[in-house]
Amino acid sequence: MKGKAISEAYWILGFLAAAWLVTLAFLPFASIIFAALLLFTLYFFRDPERTPPEDPRIAVSPADGLVDTIDEVEEPDFLKKKVRRIGIFLSVFDVHVNRSPIQGEITHSEPKPGKFLDARNPRSSFENQSRTWVISGPLGTVAVKQITGAIARRICPWAVVGDKLARGERFGMIRFGSRTEIYLPLEAEILVKKGDKVRGAETPIARLAP
C-alpha cells in the first residue's frame, strides 16, 4: 500500500503544475499561488513510515489527529453491541492515511452515503458520508469508521474484504480534512484522553484484553 497516497493526487498535481507553468509565463505574480498550492498538495499526501509498539495487545491509532471524543455508544450496524468509541479529528495539516489498529482480517467494508457537515460537528458521525471497516483478529474485533467533512469529500479505500492486515498497515485515506473513529470492546483499557495528539500506527490508544 505504500505509495498509494500520492497516486490519489496525480490529477490534482497535474492540474496545479500546468497552472503554475502557464501563470509563470503570463502572470508571474499569480504563479506564486499555484506554486504554494502545489507544494501544499505534496505535503498533504505524504505517507511516512511508522513502527507500532512491540506489545501485540496494544491497539494503535488508526489516524493522525486530535482525540476529541471518548465515550460508550451502541453500534447497531456492524458490531451490534455497546462499545467504546474514540473519535479523532484530522485537520488539513495531518497525515490522512488510515491504518489498521490491530492485526486481523477485514471481515466487512461498507460505504454509507450522507452529508458533508464539518467533521468537528458531533452529528457528522452518523449523518456524513462514511465507510466502516470491521477487522477481526486474535484479540477480538474492532471497527474503524472513516468520515468525510465539509472539505474532505472522498474516501479512498485501498483494501478489500478478506485482506489480512498487520497492525499499523495502511488500508485507505480520506482527502482533505476529516474524522476517523474506532470502536473497541468495552473491556479494552483506553490509553489516551481527550485533547491528545495521536499518530496513526504509532500511538497506543487501547490495551486489549487477552
Active site residues: 178
Residues contacting residue 178 through CB under 8 Å, at least 6 positions apart: 90, 96, 119, 146, 147, 148, 149, 152
φ/ψ of 51, rounded to 5, equals -120, 115
* Paired strand residues for 181: 87, 145
Neighbours of 48 (CB within 10 A): 12
Report the alpha-carbon distance of residue 50 to residue 66 in Å, rounded.
Answer: 18
**131 with 109: CB under 8 angstroms?**
yes
What are the counts of helices (DSSP H) followed by strands (DSSP E) for the chain?
4, 14
Separation in Å, CA 34 to CA 9, 29, 109, 151? 15, 10, 37, 19
